[in-house]
Copies of this chain bind each other. A is one copy, B any other.
């Protein structure tokens, strides 16, 4: 009944596979948008990890409400997801992923989403730890009016192979690298302009992000989760760039 309207797109045996596939959401910022879309599609075993709390400036895009401000993101998101599907297995770990808890976080995981902040080398270590366990990793990026995602396979290459091991602004450097190397200049001219203005700002600020990008990221990442769970041979790892843009 819950999944009746998934018919024709998702076969019964695929739906059953989604229900048992264990997904780790590393970071509950953009991860909060992905989690709800993935749960509604049929991913019923989600582990949410984040030590952060909700702030007012998250509400322009993340999956929280005004009364959630100050609350722990992982627990708050788990409450929302359990309200949508009380029978799903939603596990919240309200801690920042670090070297000490990383292996515990990855225990039993089939697919990981790396939506961690690049404030240390933890996001790099996360990918390597996943690789040792043969876990594919999706990296999602909110680019305002567009979404971008890549899949890091256990064989690599890894992000630090591509852009170097300095975590400072690594996500910005990586997106700039993709804009230069992988995407058509014509299609992304508006984004080059945003990137130029952002890098030129006198003080370092968190990158701008819109609700449109978060919704697009959730759609794109959920599609990749579906493929990785049911038809992994149809997923191309990096350097393939998955790109969804509302600027047309």
Contact = CB atoms under 8 A, between A and B. Distances in A.
A116 B205 CA distance: 42
A224 to B, nearest CB: 8
A60 interface: yes
A188 B74 CA distance: 37
Q: Please give the count of copies of this chain that the complex contains.
A: 2
A206 B219 CA distance: 22
B57 A1 contact: yes
8 contacts: A2-B59, A5-B58, A8-B208, A9-B208, A41-B212, A223-B246, A242-B248, A244-B244
Contacts of A8: 144, 194, 197-198, 208
A59 B41 contact: no
Chain B CB count within 10 A is highest, among A38, A66, A219, A220, for A219
Interface in A232-248: 242-248
A7 B208 contact: yes
Nearest to A144: B9
A210 interface: yes
Interface in A41-69: 41-42, 56-61, 64-67
Nearest to A1: B56
A84 interface: yes
Nearest to A209: B5
Contacts of A174: none
A56 B2 contact: yes
Residue of A2, A40, A56, A65 ringed by the most chain B CB atoms within 10 A: A40
A2 B244 CA distance: 25
Interface of A: 1-10, 33, 37-38, 40-42, 56-61, 64-67, 80, 83-86, 144-145, 147, 194, 197-198, 205-206, 208-216, 218-220, 222-223, 226, 242-248
Given A212-B223, A223-B145, A244-B244, A9 B194 contact: yes
User: Which 6 interchain pairs have the tightest Cβ spacing?
Assistant: A223-B246, A40-B211, A215-B219, A65-B83, A216-B219, A9-B144
A135 B222 CA distance: 34
A226 B61 CA distance: 15
Contacts of A84: 59, 64-66
A193 B116 CA distance: 38
B4 A210 contact: no
B244 A9 contact: no
Contact of A10 (B4, B210, B244): B210
